[in-house]
Amino acid sequence: MKTNKFFLVAFAAMFMQSAVSLADDVMIAATQLPAAAQTFVKKTFPNATIAYAEKDGFVNPSYEVHLSDGTKVEFDRRGIWNKVDAQLQPVPAHLVPTAIANYVKSNFTDVQIVKIDKEPYGYEIELSNDLDLKFNRAGALIAMDD
């Protein structure tokens, strides 16, 4: 009887390990990205190519794309972007809401937005001087962190 319990516990542990590994990032071909993500990359970063792509999760997947210019883009399961990290180059201007772009332009000279992250409350951006700014959905500054 003890042997049966041991095998049952061992089998359950192996099953759980397999289920957890399904949730890890898995490399995928660019063609396996949702169509919306593929279109976004082509239109927004026409001079870059997809270096590699990853799928995270099994039931409700998200995607992460690494471009040849060093930019990293994260997408939801439908292929809608939710984060763009352009590293040391500016984020494409059309991704930044006008109110946020105007605030940065008028309050920070010679600084660029290098990262933008959609959040439930609004947006979080990172500037080229390593300052993080949080804005509500209307584009009003709500927090600053260095």
CATH no. for residue 81? 3.40.1420.30
Range of the domain at 36: 20-85
Is residue 95 one of the residues assigned to a domain? Answer: yes
The two structure tokens encoding residue 124: 């979080």
Q: Are 67 and 103 in contact (CB under 8 A)?
A: no
Q: 77 in a domain, yes or no?
A: yes
Sheet bearing 26-28, strands edge to edge? 26-28, 50-56, 62-67, 72-75, 81-85, 113-119, 122-127, 132-136, 141-145
Q: How confident is the model at residue 3 (pLDDT cuts 50, 70, 90)?
A: low
Of 46, 67, 85, the domain-final residue: 85
Q: How does pLDDT run across 7-53, given as a tens digit for each residue?
A: 444 444 444 454 444 557 899 999 999 999 999 999 999 999 999 99
- The tokens describing 97, both together, are 């809401």
Q: Are the beta carbons of 93 and 116 closer than 8 angstroms?
A: no
Domain count along the chain:
2
